[in-house]
Amino acid sequence: MVSHPRKGSTAEIRMAKTKSQDRSMSRSALRRLREKEIRYNTILKAAENLFAKKGYHRTSIEEIADLAEVSTGAVYFYFKNKEDILIKLMHEIGHQLRKLLGEELQKADFSFDSFQNIAFAFLRDFCLSQPEKLAIFFRESAGRSSEVEEQRKQLFIDLTQDIKEAFIRINEEREKNSVSGFAPELIAVCIVGVYERIACHYFLWKESSKEDVEDIAQKSVSFMLGGIESLIKG
């Protein structure tokens, strides 16, 4: 089933920008498109801050509009309701997280150093540096509607697939014995699961500091690499 972008969504704005290559589009039309995109992103950012600070349920559309300095009508122009805002935020956060980790996965060879760089990308550059996004993805999105849960589930599936494909590539490059069956996927599932728990335990519940990140990263990498190596040799 092909989904179509909603009125005022980022997808629609970007599609319109592509069409704007047509010489017939005026400067004023281009300006209006830019203003729409800015307003859309401003509303998302306001919701992100409020959801992380007050919680999803305790945040109202009126508060989002007030922080974004727009009318409530403007919020409803871009989003169906508060849940729609959360779903769009989940999509944006998922895209950023996959991009962040994907850059490190492309360089990874599963040496201790490269694996630690992946850990730092997640723990330092996402969990510690972007606490609002961390709170929304791991706390505020949990236990919501089936649509929100589907968005959440899909990101975990995508992250698992990214790591699985990276492992298969690295295994082939290192000319290891072929690892078949569930091993590549099992490794990826375990890695995603470990870091999900680390994020919740150390950065949402215990609020660990920058000084803790290096120790957490090193110990988690040692733990996971030992399991990966034993599975490969087995």
Residue limits of CATH 1.10.10.60 in the chain: 10-78
- The superfamily in CATH containing domain 10-78 is Homeodomain-like (1.10.10.60)
Predicted TM-score (pTM) of the model is: 0.79
Cα 114 from chain centroid (whole Å) = 21
**Pairwise CA distance, residues 22 & 33, whole Å:** 14
Residue limits of CATH 1.10.357.10 in the chain: 84-233
Residue 179 pLDDT > 70: no
According to DSSP, residue 20 is labeled: T
Question: How is domain 84-233 classified at the CATH fold level?
Answer: Tetracycline Repressor; domain 2 (1.10.357)
Give per-residue pLDDT as tens, 43-85: 999 999 999 999 999 999 999 999 999 999 999 999 999 999 9
**Pairwise CA distance, residues 83 & 144, whole Å:** 9
Residue 102 pLDDT > 60: yes
H runs (alpha helix) in 1-60: 10-19, 27-54
